[in-house]
Amino acid sequence: MIMKLLISPINEEEANICRLGGADIIDVKNPKEGSLGANFPWIISAVKKAAGNVPVSATIGDFNYKPGTASLAALGAAVAGAEYIKVGLYDIHTKEQALDMLVNIVRSVKDYDKNKKVVASGYSDHRRINSISPFELPAIGKKAGVDVVMMDTGIKDGRSTFDFLTEDQLTEFVARSRSLGLQTAIAGTIKFEDIPALKRIQPDIIGVRGCVCGGDRNSVIKLELVEKLKAQISMDQ
């Protein structure tokens, strides 16, 4: 299995660099609004144009329990051109809340275009942000009809998903999701030195920003780092 490389630019110039460097998915987000902060519809549309044939993903926010608001945001991202619509269950505390959120997001997206994919993201640092465990997500996501379940970090302070979860736990997350027919994505301050472990874990998608900015996610994406990461992921696969 070849893992796909998802990179998160913040504008069309960075999106073009991602495309040239070999990104498999270009992910539109707005770091000013949090880990999975939403960007503007016109930015999603501009990135879609810059991405060419590369699929575009868009985040709709780190959400608390607002199924209606989230559903509207998800539809907006879909209309703006995103093929993957990603929601963070940031301030969601129960399985019931998570299911209600995801069922309605899936309906709003799939009623518009059944081929678009919904990504439900949990957080490896869920204990420190007091949100639902990401290990609940595969079963809930399956029931709700999402396509991908994801692991990210809620607080971007330089600590990575690997600081909060072991390789065995991440392998279990991927295996459990795959057994339910769901794809998986792992993100959260992923570094070049994490790639060997990720190759063993084998998620479908690896999500990055900081490591292709030279370590500072608030800096600019660099073409040579995108190419280096893509080559490292592709090696021996």
Tokens of 81: 């051109």
- % of the chain exceeding 90 in pLDDT: 88
The number of domains in the chain is 1
What is the amino acid identity at position 214?
G
CATH number at residue 48: 3.20.20.70
Residue 164 lies in a domain: yes
The per-residue b/e assignment along 171-187, b for 16 or more CB within 10 angstroms, e otherwise, is: bebbebbbeeebbbbbb
Residue 165 lies in a domain: yes
Note down the domain range covering 131.
4-213
Find the Cα–Cα–Cα–Cα dihedral 59, 177, 125, 14, rounded to 10°: -30
Residue 145 lies in a domain: yes
List, by residue number, the catalytic residues. 29, 86
Tokens of 99: 């299911």
Give dist(CA 66, CA 63) in Å, integer: 7
Residue 197 lies in a domain: yes
Determine contact, residues 203/185, Cβ cutoff 8 Å.
yes
Digit-coded pLDDT (tens) for 130-178: 999 999 999 999 999 999 999 999 998 889 999 999 999 999 999 999 9
Determine contact, residues 214/227, Cβ cutoff 8 Å.
no
Residue 233 lies in a domain: no
Residue 235 lies in a domain: no
Residue 223 lies in a domain: no
